[in-house]
Structure 1
Amino acid sequence: MTAPRYDVLAIGNAIVDVIADADDAFLSAEGLVKGSMRLIDEAESTRLYGRMKAGREISGGSAGNTAAGLAALGLKVAYAGQVADDQLGAIYAHDIKAQGIDFIVAPRGGIGATATSLILVTPDAQRTMNTFLGATQRLELGHFDPSVAADASILYLEGYLWDPELPRAAMVEAMAAARSAGRKVALTLSDTFVVDRHGDDFRRLLDEGRLDILFGNEAELIAMTGASTFDAAVEALAPKVPLLVATHGDQGAVAVRGTERARVAAEPIADLVDTTGAGDLFAAGFLAGEVRGLGLEASLRLGAIAAAEVIQHYGARPEQDLKALASDLL
């Protein structure tokens, strides 16, 4: 097998986050469920944006955040996500490329506006996301070459992007290219609503042996299995995938590979500011450890360090030097 050009190819929704403070009263007045993510149309995005406090515009998107974390940890990364040929699309592309990531999908006109996520952060650091997908739903074959997946050690797929038909077809082709080349395929479940809508597809991928690594948090794993507890969900899913990585909030995380198992505690933090991107950066740290062959416990610790960094500031991409924070592991 020839050496791949990339350590990781990440595929996901290319979204510009607009992050603003809000209180519980505002969420209640808007009929929003704290900590949830909902999909909205352009009209609702415009209306809600007009009601929000002044926000910070930061490039985001789950797999894009993971790609940023991977690059910050020194890995060779490519990213596939569709943006429009508009101002926000230009900002997003610049942010990705400035981190040394190969952005392998060109901006396009005539496909709507670049996606945005209006993120309301309450004083308890919980984030409530209102996402207009726009152009990101138009990642499609003909504008994205899935064979690039054969040139990456790990193909990392964002569950959110499984929802629209066109990018789902592109991801299926990328999975086939990766597996044909003997590469690993990783999937993050992303959200319980994704599992509710597409759990049967994900379970079929597991049964068919088309996934090598599965990432999920407590709620997502319970939704996948119907189990009543985190530990029961881990026990139910672990035999179905070569490597299961299960995050458990402030209780840490677990990884299971066959008979090998590791558990780590969450990293201590000084100040919880914004939980946006915690899972994305955890995945980045873990995958960085996996690529480097660090073993399950060290990879989990690297994930916990990356997640701890991102929840201590606004925005879902690292601001401190992750390699310095994890110098004892790298």
Structure 2
Amino acid sequence: MAKYDVYGLGNALVDKEFEVTEQFLADNGIEKGLMTLIEEDTHFKLLDNLINTYGIKKRAGGGSAANSLVGLTQFGGSAFYACKVSQDEYGQFYSQDLADAGVQTRISELAIEGPTGKCMVMVTPDAERTMNTYLGITADLSVNELFLDELAQAEYLYIEGYLVPSPTACEAIEAAKAKAKAEGIKVAMTFSDPSMVKYFKEGVDKALGNEAIDLLFCNEEEALTFTETDSVAAAAQVLLKRAKKVVITLGPKGVSVFLENSEITVPGHSVDAVDTNGAGDMVAGAFLYGETQGWDDEKSAKLACKAASIVVSHFGPRLTAEQQKEILNAF
């Protein structure tokens, strides 16, 4: 029996959330709905502007894969996260945040100097999240932070698409996938954001690799953009050449799960959305929980839809452990 249900590989970021207007994004030349990488000086200028104009709504540990692993562990799964933070205040906050959620790391063994990554999450009145990210030292995530002995004890390797802009992170992905193949560990990946398939498609393509991975997560926009098709069904057929199982989120319409000869669509829940940040991450975390517990795809998708509907109903990318226990009890 595996020690970990999922071993995750991704960026480590401390999120700062703000409620902003559409006009603020336009005035500052920020592309709505996407994650944009920015330099440190731009980060501090924008941060000062946001704090002075709106004030911080919430600070929390973040990163796409980290959010998914927190979701998985709070449902009752087990996870290890390979990431890179420093010993600064943000890094200490991030490390403790993961520990409190039950996600195992070996961050304390790294003793790395430099700025921990940060992400400014700007939420407009329509609940759409737009992110500007200063990666800090996570931009140089490498094979040195992998702890492959931990990966050898996992059922799944889960790869975050946000890593592909970094050459050293791409090397880490290749090393992790090679280890997974050698150990018979299943591989899952998320596209993470439309910006990754729009601006870094070559890197995403390389991360997927020549052999079909076991499980791929993406949203409707990412699926259509990556495959250059005009329907979810057509996109799924293309993606099934790259993954044995494809989970596509459809926003309020729900989640579709595709295999070579089958399709399941679970409808979404009608809620008043406040903040869509973390919805896709929760879908992945909840679905992976069901997957590693031996659930069928429909039950896993229903759990994912329910959990995501609660996430978008409040600010922040995560649920409390108590909320997740209540959700799980219904299943």
Query: Does 2:81 correspond to 1:83?
Result: no
List aligned pairs for 1:249-268, cutoff 5 A. 249-268=251-270
Kept in 2, the 8 Å contact 1:37–1:129? The answer is yes
Query: Does 2:13 correspond to 1:15?
Result: yes
List aligned pairs for 1:49-68, cutoff 5 A. 49-52=47-50, 53-55=54-56, 56-68=58-70
Kept in 2, the 8 Å contact 1:285–1:305? The answer is no
Determine the structure 2 residue equivalent to 1:288: 289
Determine the structure 1 residue equivalent to 2:105: 103
Kept in 2, the 8 Å contact 1:105–1:144? The answer is no
Q: Which of 25, 47, 52 is 2:23 aligned to? A: 25
Determine the structure 2 residue equivalent to 1:166: 168
Q: Unaligned stretches of 5+ in structure 2?
A: none
Kept in 2, the 8 Å contact 1:261–1:296? The answer is no
Determine the structure 1 residue equivalent to 2:137: 135
Between the aligned partners of 1:33 and 1:243, the Cα distance in structure 2 is 31
Determine the structure 2 residue equivalent to 1:310: 311
SS of structure 1 residue aligned to 2:280: helix
CA shift, 1:202, in A, is 4.0
Determine the structure 2 residue equivalent to 1:178: 180
CA shift, 1:144, in A, is 2.8
Which deviates more, 252-261 or 16-25?
252-261
TM-score, length of structure 2 as denominator length: 0.93
SS of structure 2 residue aligned to 1:303: helix
CA shift, 1:5, in A, is 0.9
Determine the structure 2 residue equivalent to 1:279: 280
Determine the structure 2 residue equivalent to 1:193: 195
Q: Which of 109, 113, 120 is 2:122 aligned to? A: 120
SS of structure 1 residue aligned to 2:152: helix
Between the aligned partners of 1:218 and 1:224, the Cα distance in structure 2 is 10
Change (3 A) 1:138 1:200: closer
CA shift, 1:291, in A, is 0.6
Between the aligned partners of 1:83 and 1:294, the Cα distance in structure 2 is 34
CA shift, 1:205, in A, is 5.7
Which deviates more, 163-172 or 140-149?
140-149
CA shift, 1:206, in A, is 5.1
Between the aligned partners of 1:240 and 1:36, the Cα distance in structure 2 is 24
Determine the structure 1 residue equivalent to 2:298: 297
Determine the structure 2 residue equivalent to 1:243: 245
Kept in 1, the 8 Å contact 2:34–2:194? The answer is no
CA shift, 1:139, in A, is 2.0
Between the aligned partners of 2:84 and 2:193, the Cα distance in structure 1 is 21
CA shift, 1:201, in A, is 4.6
Between the aligned partners of 1:243 and 1:232, the Cα distance in structure 2 is 15
AA partner of residue 139 (structure 1): L
SS of structure 1 residue aligned to 2:317: coil
Q: Deviations over 1:249-289 (max 9, x none)?
A: 111111112223211011232x3111000000000111111
Q: Deviations over 1:24-52 (max 9, x none)?
A: 12111111222121100110010001111
Q: Which of 46, 49, 67 is 1:48 aligned to? A: 46
Kept in 2, the 8 Å contact 1:148–1:174? The answer is no
Q: Deviations over 1:145-175 (max 9, x none)?
A: 2342221101110000122111221121111
AA partner of residue 33 (structure 2): G
Kept in 1, the 8 Å contact 2:66–2:81? The answer is yes
Q: Deviations over 1:32-74 (max 9, x none)?
A: 2221211001100100011112112111110010011001110
Kept in 1, the 8 Å contact 2:252–2:270? The answer is no
The number of residue pairs the alignment matches comes to: 325
Identity of aligned residues (%): 34
TM-score, length of structure 1 as denominator length: 0.94
AA partner of residue 286 (structure 2): G
RMSD of aligned Cα (Å) = 1.6
CA shift, 1:85, in A, is 1.2
CA shift, 1:240, in A, is 3.6
SS of structure 1 residue aligned to 2:305: helix
AA partner of residue 57 (structure 1): R
CA shift, 1:182, in A, is 1.0
Between the aligned partners of 1:239 and 1:137, the Cα distance in structure 2 is 30
